[in-house]
Amino acid sequence: MPALYKKPSPPSDDKRWKIVETRMRRMGDRPAALIEALHAAQEAFGYLDESALHFVGDTLGVPHSRVYGVATFYSFFTLKPQGEHTCVVCTGTACYINGAKEILAGLERELHVKPKQTTPDNKLSILTARCLGACSLAPAVIVDGEVAGKINTGELIARLEAM
């Protein structure tokens, strides 16, 4: 029987698929590697599209339905591409009582974009995080990978508009 099984080939000849394949192979291409494989694919491509989900599922022998189930269950995985810039607003308790709510309201009022949305011009995505662990800097946001602490709505919007 094993002779009948053919390992699926990547959806394209993009070299980044090699990273995903290696990560899966290291864990023996077993179904238990599913989450690690999705992490690898998202790290490489920024988001998970249908071809990535199919490829990972076929390699690990996991039904597509279950791959989709796992990818949508965990909030860390995103099935849509992000905007050019990202702004992650921490909504942990310390940030919340220090004004994260006003920051989100301000972003919606001024830039017309809600959490988990991207502006129509594809410039900016707003995300929220449960807790960045930067509680000493509350309220904290991450703009394009850089933490900005003790920030107020005006400063943040000025910074985002300048990008």
As a three-state string, the secondary structure of 110-152 is HHCCCCCEECCCCCEEEEEECCCCCHHHCCCEEECCEEECCCC
Q: Binding to other proteins by residue 114, rule CB under 8 A?
A: no
Q: Binding to other proteins by residue 92, rule CB under 8 A?
A: yes
Residues 32, 107: Cα–Cα separation, whole Å: 40
Scanning 1-9, 10-18, 33-41, 154-162 for contacts with other proteins by CB under 8 A, the matching segment is: 33-41
Q: Binding to other proteins by residue 94, rule CB under 8 A?
A: yes
Q: Binding to other proteins by residue 36, rule CB under 8 A?
A: yes
114, 108 Cβ separation under 8 angstroms: yes
Minimal distance, residue 105 CB to other proteins, in Å: 10
Minimal distance, residue 52 CB to other proteins, in Å: 15
156, 120 Cβ separation under 8 angstroms: no
Which residue type occupies 68? Answer: Y
Q: Binding to other proteins by residue 130, rule CB under 8 A?
A: yes
Report the alpha-carbon angle 157-158-163, nearest 5.
Answer: 95
Q: Binding to other proteins by residue 50, rule CB under 8 A?
A: no
Q: Binding to other proteins by residue 46, rule CB under 8 A?
A: yes
Q: CA of 138: how far to CAs of 12, 31, 36, 72, in Å? A: 43, 40, 31, 29
Q: What is the dihedral of CA 97, 101, 107, 108, to 10 degrees?
A: 180
The binder of other proteins chosen from 53, 55, 98, 111 (CB under 8 A): 98
Nearer to other proteins among residue 120 and residue 136 (C-beta): 136
Site for other proteins in 139-158 (CB under 8 A): 142, 144-147, 149
- The residues that touch other proteins, with contacts defined as CB under 8 A, are 30-36, 38-39, 42-43, 46, 60, 62, 66, 69-70, 73-78, 86, 88, 91-94, 96-98, 127, 129-138, 142, 144-147, 149
